[in-house]
Amino acid sequence: MIKKLSFFISIILFGSAFGQKDKEQLQKQNADLKKQISSLNATLNQTKQESKLSIAYLNAVNQKLALREKVYNNTQKEKRFIEDDIYKRQLEINKNNRELEVLRKNYAEILVKAYKTKGVQNKVTFILSSKNIGEALNRIEYLKRYSEYQDKKAAEISNKATEIKKNISLKKKSVTEKDNLLLTQKKDLSTIEVERKQKQQLLDEFKKNEVQLTAELRQKQAQQKSLQKQIANIIAEEIRLAKAKEEAERKAEAERKRLADIAAKKEKERIEAENRAKLAAAEAERKRAENEAKRANELAAKKVEEERKLAETNKAVEKKEAAERASREAAERVKAANEKLAAAKANEAVVNKKNDDAKDEAEKKVMKSYGVGSTVGSNFADNKGRIGFPVERGTVTHRFGRQPHPVFKNIVEENTGIKIAVTKGTKARCVFPGVVSTIQVINGSRTVFVKHGNYFTVYSNLANTLVKANQQVSAGTLIGEVGSDFDDSITLDFQIWNGENPVDPLGWVSY
């Protein structure tokens, strides 16, 4: 039974180590959530002043309520961790009390036994009654160990009592922590109820003004459809112009290449003519060196043959020595001729290389002067998912594609981009390097188109612009200040197009 209980306690202790870590993570998460709630409150205060009956305001209310509920749920989990800790402490206190009871019982038995053993009570008599010195020494050692044993048992009782006090103190601390947490939780629950009522009041306001808001929404949808059509037409025209420009550029490139080839050929012929004398001289020098080397080799071979025949006929020593000397001189001439030939070949190679290098350099200069081979690329597609967000801070209120209205279920929106609610004065910024292809005024607001190779990013509903057409822009370049939407909320309409096809921006930006 005791073994089973010890195993159960060890399981609880093992779990509590992870519980403490989880509790700390929950506390940290709640602190971050409360910061987000505080930020949302500031946004809501401003949005409320601008327009209460807006999707941006409703989304912010929903988001804040979701954060409140997450904080409450985290607090519930934290409370369970504290309750587990209280239960664990109580188990430890019960276990320590049982151990203390056993220690006290054992210590009492030791004292009773010591009292009954007279010799132990009267230590001097116990030692002096020994039969010899050896027995006396053994009794002294026994008394010493017995005394240490008693002290050890007394210390164990004292330590166990201290441990019980510590666990009781920790349990009280956890109980206090739980009580404080319950108070906080009660306040949070009260706040959630208030905010739920506020949300319901807001929804009631939407319903109350349903006719007016629905009419405005229908009008806005018509404007949005017109805007999307105009954007699609503008992009199609941009692509058509880009293709025409590319075709014209291709033809111009081909013509430049043709003229450049003619000019390069003439320049190479001029260089060839200038170096012709040097090339001819180097070639002639090489041929002379080859002839000299050939004659020297033939002469050397002849001398070697004469030396061999002279040795065979056993003629005079003087003639033999003269033949050997002639053979050595011939070998030296062969060596000199070969060295001269090698130098001539090297010189010819140097002259030829200089000539070729001069022609290559001349060709490059001619091609550059005619503007041949200059291209500009884009790696927009390679950065999918890592492209910057078009505003520093904002909330996505309308997503890409076919989306139901969050209040009026009979209204469905078809979006070719996303809408981002921002605070007044927020400036849209370019998400990737490119070129401003055009700026258009559509439905009274400005729309900026930025070209990134085959892709376009579109920034609509701008009150003003900070860039101009054909301007090179970088990631982060300010495009313009975001303007008011039909419900007076400050909203940026942001789109990404792959050629003539819109794509979901949230799949591309780092959000």
Taking the chain, what is the end-to-end CA distance rounded to the nearest angstrom?
57
Look at residue 106 and tell me if it is in a domain: yes
* pLDDT value at residue 465: 94
* 193 shares its domain with 260: no
Greatest alpha-carbon span in the chain: 141
Note whether residue 174 is domain-resident.
yes
Are residues 451 and 364 located together in one domain of the fold?
Answer: no
C-alpha 65 chain-centroid distance: 31
- Asked whether residue 93 is domain-assigned, the answer is yes
Q: Is residue 227 part of a domain?
A: no
Got the DSSP string for 303-345? HHHHHHHHHHHT--HHHHHHHHHHHHHHHHHHHHHHHHHHHHH
Closest CA to 325 of 305, 347, 303: 303
Confidence at residue 493, expressed as pLDDT on a 0 to 100 scale: 93
Sequence-distant (6+) residues with CB within 8 A of 423 are 43, 46, 393, 490
241 part of a folded domain: no
Domain-embedded: residue 248: no
Shared domain check, 435 and 460: yes
Same domain as 16, residue 147:
yes
The DSSP element (H or E) to which 392 belongs, if any, is none
Going by the DSSP 8-state scheme, the letter that residue 212 receives in this structure is H
Q: Domain ends where: 208, 232, 262?
A: 208
Q: What is the pLDDT of residue 449?
A: 94
Q: How far apart are CA 43 and CA 33, in angstroms?
A: 15
Q: Say how far residue 504 (Cα) sits from the centre of its chain.
A: 21
pLDDT at 477: 92
Q: Which residues of 136-147 are buried (b: 16+ CB within 10 A; e: fewer)?
A: eeebeeeeeeee
Is residue 138 located within the same domain as residue 41?
A: yes
- Shared domain for 362 and 389, answered yes or no, is no
Q: How far apart are CA 188 and CA 174, in angstroms?
A: 20
Residues 451, 482, single domain; the answer is yes
Low-confidence stretches of the chain (pLDDT beneath 50): 1-5, 7-9, 11-15, 17-18, 49-50, 119-121, 372-377
Do 190 and 328 share a structural domain?
no
User: Do residue 399 and residue 352 come from a single domain?
Assistant: no
Q: Summarize pLDDT for 58-90 with one digit per residue, the tens.
A: 777 788 788 888 887 887 887 787 778 778 878
Identify the pLDDT of residue 123. 62
What range defines the domain where residue 265 resides?
A: 253-369
Say if residue 442 is in the same domain as residue 477.
yes
DSSP single-letter state for residue 282: H
Q: Are residues 304 and 386 in the same domain?
A: no
The SS3 of residue 171 is helix
* Contact (Cβ atoms closer than 8 angstroms) between residue 411 and residue 217: yes
Given 152, 177, 208, the domain boundary residue is 208
Q: Is residue 423 part of a domain?
A: yes
Q: In this structure, is residue 283 part of a structural domain?
A: yes
- From 369, 390, 421, the end of a domain falls on 369
CATH code for the domain in which residue 439 is found: 2.70.70.10
Q: How far apart are CA 414 and CA 420, in angstroms?
A: 16
- Which residues, in sequence order, are CB contacts of 89 under 8 Å at separation 6+? 167, 168, 170, 171, 174
**Rounded Cα gap, residues 394 and 417, in angstroms:** 15
For the chain, what is the domain count? 3
Task: Give the pLDDT score at 5.
Answer: 46
Same structural domain for residues 45 and 185? yes
The angle at the Cα of 330, spanning 324 to 333, to the nearest 5 degrees, equals 145
